[in-house]
Amino acid sequence: MNDLIRNESSWDRQTIAKAVSVPSSRSTDVETSHIAAAEHTASGKRGTNVGKVIELVRANPGRTSAELARLSDLTRHEVARRLPEAEKAGAVYKGPKFRCTVNGTLAVGWWPSA
């Protein structure tokens, strides 16, 4: 699932498994959102992207989701969706708000967990 993660370790595999165990659609979402979420998870793309986001944060600590997206092949929306999952798994955490260099709005920076 996370074969794209450099320096793969069992900690990374466990973290990604924990991250993708969290539902990615809300109970109030329409049925098609649940179907899309299930397909994204089953295909392995969700887990791969969680791994990519964790690596992005490790390599670029303190960046916003928009800034991280600019440094990757993922869309800002995909990065923004995977960051909270990586946070719930304990791999990253939110730092203080500051002005994002990409879109000029206040946003949190993301930091790797110890």
| Number of structural domains found in the chain | 1
pLDDT in tens, 60-77: 999 999 999 999 999 999
Q: Is residue 82 one of the residues assigned to a domain?
A: yes
Query: pTM to 2 decimals?
Result: 0.77
Cite the beta strand spans of the chain per DSSP E.
92-99, 106-112
What's the CATH number where 31 sits? 1.10.10
**What pLDDT score does 6 carry?**
41
Nearest residue to 15 via CA among 108, 106, 94, 88: 88
Containing domain of residue 30, as a range?
Answer: 10-112
CB 82 within 8 A of CB 54: no
Q: Is residue 14 one of the residues assigned to a domain?
A: yes
Q: Is residue 77 one of the residues assigned to a domain?
A: yes
Q: Is residue 51 one of the residues assigned to a domain?
A: yes
